[in-house]
């Protein structure tokens, strides 16, 4: 479903992505049917045939692609996806993009995708604190909720992509914001990994300051060595053009895409609001762990431990 906020890769690029993963549109459709049949047999997972709380086939398909076409890994990820949404309600419940606190949050800071994909079919996303941000009104939980809503809309409804490229812009970040983020960073990373295990291409950090470094150090400690090698800290926004096609980047990031990042954020906010009813339903589609089989491979205890302070898994990349 191509929109003005998300231009899909060209058909030939999508075909190349499928070929690289050893699949095709026909095989993906067959595999999605297999996965839906598997979900029907899992009493704790959402019913894929429920007309009211509909499980999007697009979501299953995108997770399958993220799992490099492995049915068994996709089953584990689907289990984790719906389980984590139950375990961390502060990030995954009350998904109303018209709620005053979320409108205020997106005016302060935002994580959102750039409209145009790269030539290879990768999606570039930007996290930034916006100009004019008011420090005293910052609520870190609302920022995280919007991040997960954005990922959910992309994967469940709108996007098709190969890997994720993330730009993190700390230009307007304050010490108070870093202080609010530090105690929660492990929970955020682990929740993201369980619910949305994206294939990471690279991470680009710009406009850092000395007080941002502790947050970056903690984030890097959660990443495997392989992805650490794909983290680039830039002295200037102009450096991004050496790694990302300028036609993808907004005007204020040295690019030639005919919009600024603020204009892109406004478009993305419209997209979120457009899907309000969908969001309200999605935040209620979660695992019912009272029905979880005792021999379930994706143990609830493990997920609870990782979220509440136990051992944290490293982020996977390929």
The mean pLDDT value for 99-109 works out to 92
State what percent of residues in the chain have pLDDT above 90. Answer: 62
Question: If we measure between CA atoms, which residue out of 271, 275, 287, 129 comes closest to residue 194?
Answer: 287
- Structure confidence by residue, pLDDT tens digits, 105-163: 999 889 999 999 999 999 999 999 888 765 557 788 899 999 999 999 999 999 999 99
Which of 85-94, 267-276, 290-299 has the least mean pLDDT?
290-299
pTM (2 d.p.): 0.90
* CA quadruple 77, 79, 80, 83: dihedral, nearest 10: 160
202 φψ region: left (φ > 0), alpha (ψ -120 to 50), beta (else): beta
- Annotate 93-143 with three-state secondary structure: CCCCCCCHHHHHHHHHEEEEECCCCCCCCCEEEEEEECCCCCHHHCCHHHH
Instruction: Return the domain boundaries, the chain.
Output: 1-318
Sign of dihedral through CA atoms 206, 209, 212, 214? positive
Strands 231-234 and 200-206: parallel
Which of 53-57, 123-127, 143-147, 235-239 has the least mean pLDDT?
53-57
Confidence band for 301, pLDDT divided at 50, 70 and 90: low
Distances from the Cα of 52 to the Cαs of 43, 44, 78, 155, 292, in angstroms?
A: 17, 17, 19, 20, 22
* Average pLDDT score over the chain: 88
For residue 313, the model assigns a pLDDT of 40
Beta strands in 198-267 (DSSP E): 200-206, 231-234
Give domain 1-318's CATH superfamily.
CRAL-TRIO lipid binding domain (3.40.525.10)
User: For the chain, what is the largest distance between any 2 Cα atoms, rounded to a whole number of angstroms?
Assistant: 54
- Structure confidence by residue, pLDDT tens digits, 176-222: 888 888 888 888 888 888 888 789 999 999 998 888 888 888 877 77
For residue 289, the model assigns a pLDDT of 87
Confidence band for 270, pLDDT divided at 50, 70 and 90: very high
């Amino acid at each position: 479903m191509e929109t003005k906020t998300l231009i899909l890769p060209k058909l030939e690029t999508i075909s190349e992505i499928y070929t690289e993963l050893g699949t095709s549109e026909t095989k993906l459709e067959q595999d999605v049917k297999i996965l839906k049949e598997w979900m029907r047999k899992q009493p704790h997972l959402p019913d894929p045939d429920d007309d009211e709380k509909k499980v999007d086939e697009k979501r299953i398909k995108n997770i399958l692609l993220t799992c490099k076409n492995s049915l068994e890994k996709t089953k584990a990820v689907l289990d984790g996806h719906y389980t984590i949404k139950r375990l961390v309600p502060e990030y995954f419940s009350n998904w109303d993009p018209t709620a005053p606190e979320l409108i205020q949050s997106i005016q302060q800071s935002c994580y959102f995708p750039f409209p145009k994909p790269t030539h290879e079919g990768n999606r570039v996303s930007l996290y930034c604190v916006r100009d004019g941000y008011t420090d005293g009104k910052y609520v870190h939980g609302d920022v995280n909720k919007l991040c997960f809503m954005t990922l959910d809309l992309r994967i469940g409804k709108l996007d098709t992509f190969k890997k994720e490229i993330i730009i993190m812009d700390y230009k307007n970040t304050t010490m108070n914001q870093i202080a609010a983020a530090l105690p929660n960073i492990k929970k955020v990373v682990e929740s993201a990994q369980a619910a949305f295990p994206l294939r990471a291409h690279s991470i680009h950090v710009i406009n850092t300051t000395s007080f941002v470094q502790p947050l970056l150090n903690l984030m890097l400690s959660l990443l495997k060595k392989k992805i650490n090698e794909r983290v680039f800290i830039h002295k200037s926004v102009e450096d991004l053009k050496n790694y990302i096609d300028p036609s993808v980047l907004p005007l204020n990031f040295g690019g030639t895409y005919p919009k600024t990042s603020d204009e892109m954020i406004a478009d993305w906010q419209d997209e979120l609001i457009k899907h309000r009813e969908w969001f309200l339903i999605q935040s209620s589609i979660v695992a019912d762990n009272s029905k979880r089989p005792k021999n379930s491979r994706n143990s609830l205890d493990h997920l609870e431990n990782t979220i509440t302070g136990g051992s944290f898994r490293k982020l996977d990349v390929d």
